[in-house]
Amino acid sequence: MGIGATRLDGKVALVTGATGGIGVEIVRRLADEGASVVITDIDGAPMEDLRSELAEPDRHDVAGLDIADEGAWELTVGRVMERYERLDILVNNGAIGSIGSVVDEDLESYRRVIDISQTGTWLGMKHAGAQIESSGGGSIVNLCSILGTVGGLGNSVAYAAAKGAVRTMTKNAALYWAQRGVRVNSVHPGFIGTEQLKQRYEGTERHAAMLANTPMGRLGTAADVAAAVAFLAGDDALFVTGTELYVDGGWTCA
């Protein structure tokens, strides 16, 4: 364990989309740093497997949570408050994307991406944020993307729309809670070489373009992103709110 390894001691964190490529590393990192982690994802995802690999698995919890379903948020947050009597950290990590460009995306797919990746993030802030405030304050970290800010590779229009909204909602919510003890920040990964991404794109032109456009010459790792999330989640970032933390190997400098 590195510097600050126990900086989240005593804190309770809820992570959405927690069994995906980046979510898994966020859960591991927050747990390593001392947090009790509520591992959530859509039903059927291997949440229990992840919990059982953590040290002190009983400290952590799992819950099926479709982030686009407001009733599910109410149930899950209620369950967290019942068990832990507090909530300190929300990591809005769950999201979906689609590849379609501005002309070839279809309406059904567009709406689904917005529903989950954009509205799901707002619902999380609404329901978990209120409990973080009533617990005495804490941190919300919204997983955004370089595509929330720049055009990327000129496709994934729905994802860009959703992440652009996540970026500005983050600042809006940061202002709302600025004097109420809840900090809200966004983390903007560049292209991260998760297993899922490798399976989908390795060997394709798109993968080559991801590498060619990353000044550091490599894709990021899920651990790179998790480290940024852990910083914003904890008290090292007590005066940091409404900011955008890029974990993109320099993509947005160019």
Ligand X SMILES: NC(=O)c1ccc[n+]([C@@H]2O[C@H](COP(=O)([O-])OP(=O)(O)OC[C@H]3O[C@@H](n4cnc5c(N)ncnc54)[C@H](O)[C@@H]3O)[C@@H](O)[C@H]2O)c1
Burial category of 33 from C-beta neighbours within 10 Å (exposed 0-12, middle 13-18, buried 19 and up)? buried
Does residue number 20 form part of the binding site for ligand X (CB under 6 A)?
yes
Shortest distance (Å) from residue 7 CB to ligand X: 22
- The whole-angstrom separation of Cα 181 and Cα 139 is 8
Nearer to ligand X, 46 or 181 (CB): 46
Could you say which residues in the range 131-170 bind ligand X, by CB under 6 A? 143, 145
Structural tokens at position 134: 């009533």
Interface region with ligand X, contact rule CB under 6 A, candidates 77-85, 130-138, 193-201, 236-244: 193-201
- The whole-angstrom separation of Cα 189 and Cα 192 is 7
Nearer to ligand X, 3 or 101 (CB): 101
Could you say which residues in the range 101-130 bind ligand X, by CB under 6 A? 116
Question: Which listed residue (8, 15, 45, 230) binds ligand X by CB under 6 A?
Answer: 45
Instruction: Lay out the site mask for ligand X across 48-87 (x = CB under 6 A, - = otherwise).
Output: -----------------xxxx-------------------
Shortest distance (Å) from residue 144 CB to ligand X: 7
Nearer to ligand X, 67 or 89 (CB): 67
Interface region with ligand X, contact rule CB under 6 A, candidates 14-22, 50-58, 169-177, 231-239: 14-22
Instruction: Lay out the site mask for ligand X across 196-235 (x = CB under 6 A, - = otherwise).
Output: xx--------------------------------------
Active site residues: 159
Shortest distance (Å) from residue 190 CB to ligand X: 7
Shortest distance (Å) from residue 52 CB to ligand X: 17
- The whole-angstrom separation of Cα 164 and Cα 15 is 21
Does residue number 194 form part of the binding site for ligand X (CB under 6 A)?
yes
Nearest to 229 by CA among 180, 192, 200, 203: 192
Contacting positions for ligand X (CB under 6 A) = 16-17, 19-23, 41-42, 45, 65-68, 93-96, 116, 143, 145, 189, 191-192, 194, 196-197
